[in-house]
Structure 1
Amino acid sequence: MSEHGLNTVNFAGRAAASSQFKALYTEGMSLVEETASYLDGPGRAASKVLPRVASVLYAAESMRLTTRLMQMASWLLLQRAVNNGEMSRDQVLAEKNKVRLDGFNVDKNAPGWLDLPEGFRDLVERSLRLQNRVALLDREIYRPGDAPVPSNENGVRAQLNLLHTAFGA
């Protein structure tokens, strides 16, 4: 890296247009479809026999889950559009401001959480992991100033950690 940062490589920007992004996109859209099928089928049946506290939690968490997934799907579609040249970066930035990639965390210690169907809890947990990966990639691509490199970590290590977090273990 030069003194003025002109020789730096934006790994996140390249990763967003790579085969890893395509895999992330496919994973995200598949999770949306899987969740919709679950909520319309086995989840609907399972929710009818839950204890009252778990039933209320199921209703609230299913709304959070679908909202979280729709926000991630919106981000993935926007990123795909910019990757394919269908939208400019400025157009994506204007639309991206409507997308929320945080604030949908789950309290796994909430009363009734363990009474929720295992399949539902799995979908919630997978969506949270995907949300974290998408949010990290978003910060790196669109707001690099929000994700400073800790002073005790070199830039290469930070990029490797980013790639590890964004694209799986």
Structure 2
Amino acid sequence: MMSMGISIDNEATRAGTESFVQSELFARTFREGMTLVEETANYLDGEGRDASKQLGRDTALTYAGASMRLTTQLMQIASWLLVLRAVREGEMKIGEASDQKYRLTPTEASKVQFNSDGLPQQLVVLIDAAHQLYSRITRLDHELFVGEEAVEEKNDAAAQQRALFKAFGTLG
């Protein structure tokens, strides 16, 4: 496979990834992610810009930092989704998509707690939605490209999804 990426030698992992990109779950996740990107862009360019002008200096600095982290996180989400859509549409092979440059990892920035006091409620809602989606996509990325062997078996939804895939041969 590719020397710079994560090797997808495990046929079950390859089949699981292929099944996922063709699934309704991926289609819904893609729509959710792209909708969130669009909603955030519209907010930051319109209502959010106006709201930020009404904030005090300290809160305005918090707003600026939070909106930059949000934008960065959403760009990473969109990039991951577009790579998998390229796989779905046959424009990219799974081996290419498994390259390390496309992997998502839990980042310290995504775990940063900030004081949301005084921030516009809509910004806080968008940050929370992006954080939840990023966390979910990071878990999916790990499941799809790192493979089952490296995933710690826990009694969680991801482990249950793997068990269903093993039993029925499909993720969607």
TM-score normalised according to structure 1 size: 0.77
Name which of structure 1's ranges 7-16 and 121-130 shifts more when overlaid on structure 2. Answer: 7-16
Determine whether 1:62 maps to 2:67.
Answer: yes
Shift of the 106–43 alpha-carbon distance from structure 1 to 2, 3 Å rule, reads farther
Match of 2:24 in 1: 19
Match of 1:90 in 2: 95
What is the 5 A alignment of 1:122-161? 122-144=125-147, 145-150=149-154, 153=155, 158-160=159-161
Match of 2:40 in 1: 35
In structure 1, the gaps of 5 or more residues are 164-169
1:33 partner SS? helix
Equivalent residues of 2:63, 2:119 under 8 A apart: yes
Residue 146 (structure 1) shift: 3.5
Distance across 1 between alignment mates of 2:143 and 2:84: 13
2:54 partner SS? coil
Structure 1 residue ranges, 4+ long, deviating more than 2 angstroms after superposition: 5-17, 98-102, 159-163
The one-letter code sitting in structure 1 at the alignment partner of 2:106 is D
Match of 1:167 in 2: none
Q: Cα deviation per residue 1:67-107 (whole Å; 9 max; x = unaligned)?
A: 1001010000001111221101122223x515544313254
Distance across 1 between alignment mates of 2:118 and 2:51: 11
TM-score normalised according to structure 2 size: 0.76
Distance across 2 between alignment mates of 1:107 and 1:21: 28
Residue 133 (structure 1) shift: 1.1
Q: Cα deviation per residue 1:103-142 (whole Å; 9 max; x = unaligned)?
A: 132544x34x221000000000000010011111100000
In structure 2, the gaps of 5 or more residues are 1-9, 165-172
Residue 29 (structure 1) shift: 0.3
Tell me how large the CA RMSD over aligned residues is.
3.0
